[in-house]
Chains A and B, each alone.
Chain A
Amino acid sequence: MEILNQWAFIGMFFLLAPILPAVPILLAAVISPKKPNAIKQATYECGVETVGDTWVQFKVQYYLYGLIFLIFDVEMVFLFPWALAYKQLDFFAFLAGLLFIFLLSDALVYAWRKKVLEWV
């Protein structure tokens, strides 16, 4: 019951947290003047009309960064339980953690050497 209460609180927070900032937006929607016209609603550009499609593909470089990030994010999820119990574990835990971290920093070194981290 206690753990259910915990998550009920978080669940309620997730439901109510968007409502609090939404209130001023809705209030503004009621109060503020609405006089739309084509020029006002045009996409902002430096004085000229916007040309071409905006929703273009991302450059491949960003995907590479995204992939490295993904590796490290997964690494972190695995490291948290290790860190959590670390004080109660013996020295072997350090070696195990070291091996795990080494394998992943290996990936970082590889990416570095392959010039993935060079911004072009």
Chain B
Amino acid sequence: MQCDNIINTLAPCLVQSGWNGDLANFASIFLGVIILATFPLLVTIVLIWFERKFAARIQDRLGPNRVGPFGLLQPFADVIKLLGKEDITPAGADKLIYNIAPVMMVMSVLLIWAVVPLSPIHVGMDLEIGALYIISVASFGTLSVIFASWSSNNKYALLGAFRVVAQLISYEVPLALSLLIPVMLAGSMSLVDITQAQAGMWFIFVAPLSAILFFISSQAETGRAPFDLLEAESELVAGFNIEYSGMKFALFFAGEFMHVFTNGVLMAVLFAGGYIGFGGLENSIPLLGIVFLFLKASVFYMLSLLIRNAIPRVRIDQLMNFNWKFLVPVSIVNVVMMAFLLKVVQALGIAPTPELANDFVANIPQTLVLFAGNVVLGLLVMNTVSSRIRKERLQESANRAIVPMGAGD
């Protein structure tokens, strides 16, 4: 029996053992959802520990090391502590929205996992519009941050809300534009098909520029350093979650940690071949697919941790300029270039035929052309930007030279 999702495996078995068909369907869906939604939450517990250790190492500290071996039980101790903390709701807050916001934050990330192919047979649901679904679900996160900051009735939170509107909305544009490329290359929006299309060649080699654009904008979508303007500690105290305490506050952070890892998983699925390992090993032992996926995801995850800890926060005007004057134009040009090169490749007849699509060698000519195009565009963009910046600097220093010091007084 071909098993491509959880429903198909459990429901027939239940019917065989004498269950009503609809009831069996319902039970299998219910169980599948519970397992799939609890999974990322459990992973998050480890991630919290890992992130704290990682940040500590970068800052030349030890990090959590008291509770359990290597401080591994620290997250559990934190949860127990947070459960006992008083939950304070500010008097002026909009209670309903205020309480919904943290739940929505976690939910927005959990929902992404519904379509992520963990291994050839472990898929929540292979939606045909998976890529579009991810974008639409991710905007729940934006909404939850707006909910939280607006309903808190706090000036700092309100400033956070302003920035959310500007930042999270803007960075969705390059995110979705760079998501177009894997869809274009795979000819499908289903994440399973996108993964399968990379059996021959990972998309990160075919379209490195889109991978970089996707990575940067997804980093901005999580609202973490260097893009953590919505909760800039030194400016807004805590930004959008300032009025939250106890478990609700913790959920915002759980959502954030989970979001970062989920972005790593999405990067792995869209650009690094998802569960595909070497030698078709994941087909014979499906559980290895999960291992491969998580290994790839943790590479991107650690990269984003590194960025978070190494790069200082940008200013709001730099942030908006970076998006609208750099990322968006570049991703538009990138889409056009990829579309053009794909047609060129087809015209030249070096595109792999559908039968050979999973063959590594058959993919090499196409990949070389597309990769070269990406590199040329990347160099061109960097050259334009640097020459423009140099011009601006020269202009600035020229202005300074004309006006002597103190002449303006």
Measured CB to CB, the closest approach of chain B to A44, in angstroms, equals 6
0/1 interface trace, chain B 251-270, chain A, CB 8 Å (1 if under): 10011000000000000000
Q: Bound state CA distance, A6 and B206, in angstroms?
A: 31
* In contact, A24 and B251 (Cβ under 8 angstroms): yes
0/1 interface trace, chain B 149-190, chain A, CB 8 Å (1 if under): 010111110100010011001101100110011011001110
Interface of A toward B, CB cutoff 8 Å: 5-6, 8-10, 12-14, 16-18, 20-22, 24-25, 27-29, 31-36, 38, 40-46, 50, 54-56, 58-59, 62, 65-66, 68-69, 72-73, 76-77, 79-80, 83-88, 91, 94, 97-98, 101, 105, 108, 112, 117-119
Mostly, the B contact residues are helix
Measured CB to CB, the closest approach of chain B to A50, in angstroms, equals 6
* Interface residue B248 (Cβ < 8 Å from any Cβ of A): yes
Measured CB to CB, the closest approach of chain B to A6, in angstroms, equals 5
User: Which listed residue, A41, A45, A54, touches B89 by the CB 8 Å rule?
Assistant: A41
* In contact, A117 and B243 (Cβ under 8 angstroms): no
- Give me the 5 closest cross-chain CB pairs, A-B, nearest first: A119-B317, A28-B247, A21-B106, A83-B184, A9-B125
With a CB–CB cut-off of 8 A, which chain B residues contact A84? 183-184, 187-189
Interface of B toward A, CB cutoff 8 Å: 5, 7, 25, 29-30, 32-34, 36-38, 41, 79, 82-92, 99, 102-107, 110-111, 114, 124-128, 131-133, 135, 150, 152-156, 158, 162, 165-166, 169-170, 172-173, 176-177, 180-181, 183-184, 187-189, 237, 242-243, 246-248, 250-251, 254-255, 316-317, 320-321, 324-325, 328-329, 332, 335-336, 339-340, 342-343, 346-347
Q: Bound state CA distance, A100 and B276, in angstroms?
A: 35
With a CB–CB cut-off of 8 A, which chain A residues contact B99? 25
In the assembled complex, 6 residue pairs joining A and B whose CB atoms fall closer than 8 Å, in A order, are: A9-B33, A16-B33, A24-B247, A54-B158, A86-B184, A86-B187
Mostly, the A contact residues are helix
With a CB–CB cut-off of 8 A, which chain B residues contact A79? 177, 180, 335
Most buried by A among B155, B156, B242: B155
Q: Bound state CA distance, A88 and B176, in angstroms?
A: 22
B175: nearest chain-A partner, CB-CB: A76
B319: nearest chain-A partner, CB-CB: A119
With a CB–CB cut-off of 8 A, which chain B residues contact A42? 90-91
With a CB–CB cut-off of 8 A, which chain A residues contact B332? 101, 105, 108
Measured CB to CB, the closest approach of chain A to B181, in angstroms, equals 8
Most buried by A among B25, B41, B83, B99: B83
* In contact, B328 and A43 (Cβ under 8 angstroms): no
* In contact, B110 and A55 (Cβ under 8 angstroms): no
With a CB–CB cut-off of 8 A, which chain B residues contact A40? 88
Measured CB to CB, the closest approach of chain A to B395, in angstroms, equals 17
User: Given A17-B37, A44-B243, A58-B162, are A10 and B127 neighbors across the interface (CB < 8 Å)?
Assistant: yes
